[in-house]
Amino acid sequence: MAAVTDIREHVRERYAQAALDVEEAASCACGCGDGSESAPLFGDGLYEPDERAFLPEKAARASLGCGNPVAVAELREGETVLDLGSGGGVDVLLSARRVGPTGFAYGLDMTDEMLALAEESAGKAGVTNVRFLKGLIEAIPLPEASVDVVISNCVVNLSPEKEKVLAEIARVLRPGGRVGLSDIVAEDRLTPADRANRGSYVGCIAGALSVSEYRDGLAAAGLVDVEVELAHEVADGMHGAIVRARKPTR
């Protein structure tokens, strides 16, 4: 349990500092990628120009993810969306735009500094169909079967208790609801030690699941139609990936 607490606090400190860097107009709000040569594979450059133009400047600079889960999830008007580890609010704001005034978008984050940045960004963007929640992705503060879609952008890999995260995703999804995640995923050939040698935990590398671990974990949580599609490589054998799944209708 001490190791879990230590990892979580290390992650919280790293992303609190990232939010402060944005507020102070620092050149890099470094999160995933460790600020290394792989950094261009992370952040707001992974969004389409019209999406970036919609976002307030601070929100865009606070984007630390490895993909575009809003596009992955194929959001529809009127849906309720939950973004796990919502950070500066980029994917929540884009989700709210996609689901329209009859839909709603929640953002969940454990970092006060990121939540404050997200609230500010929502106000500047004039987005009202959103709510930001403080809490852990391992214990989502929403009722069972309360959302249509769960998204996340390079955050599941940061959890020290991924089994709980996947179980919580299944719990809050309505029957027929779906998952659309962007995450860092390891090829099956890499051991946990191999992953640790390729980057840090807070840099979204050392804690990444393998393809098989992700598939098995989602299936164990009760989800079906699981897909793990590897995309751009961020380190040897480590990829930005698209992860999809669905909760059975009964």
Number of Cα atoms under 13 Å in the Cβ half of residue 171: 14
In angstroms, the CA 200 to CA 7 distance is 11
pTM value?
Answer: 0.90
From first to last of its 250 residues, what are the pLDDT tens digits of the chain?
Answer: 668 989 999 898 988 888 888 877 654 555 576 544 444 455 555 666 677 677 777 777 766 677 788 888 899 999 999 999 999 999 999 999 999 999 999 999 999 999 999 999 999 999 999 999 999 999 999 999 999 999 999 999 999 999 999 999 999 999 999 999 999 999 999 999 999 999 989 888 989 999 999 999 999 999 999 999 998 899 999 999 999 999 999 8
Q: What is the pLDDT of residue 68?
A: 81
In angstroms, the CA 36 to CA 189 distance is 24
Q: Which of 38, 54, 50 is nearest to 90 (CA)?
A: 54
- What are the structural domains of the chain? 2-246 (3.40.50.150)
Q: Which of 177, 57, 178, 64 is nearest to 121 (CA)?
A: 57
Q: In the structure encoding, which two tokens stand for residue 79, read together? A: 């849906």
In angstroms, the CA 240 to CA 116 distance is 28
Q: What is the pLDDT of residue 169?
A: 98
Q: Are 69 and 91 in contact (CB under 8 A)?
A: yes
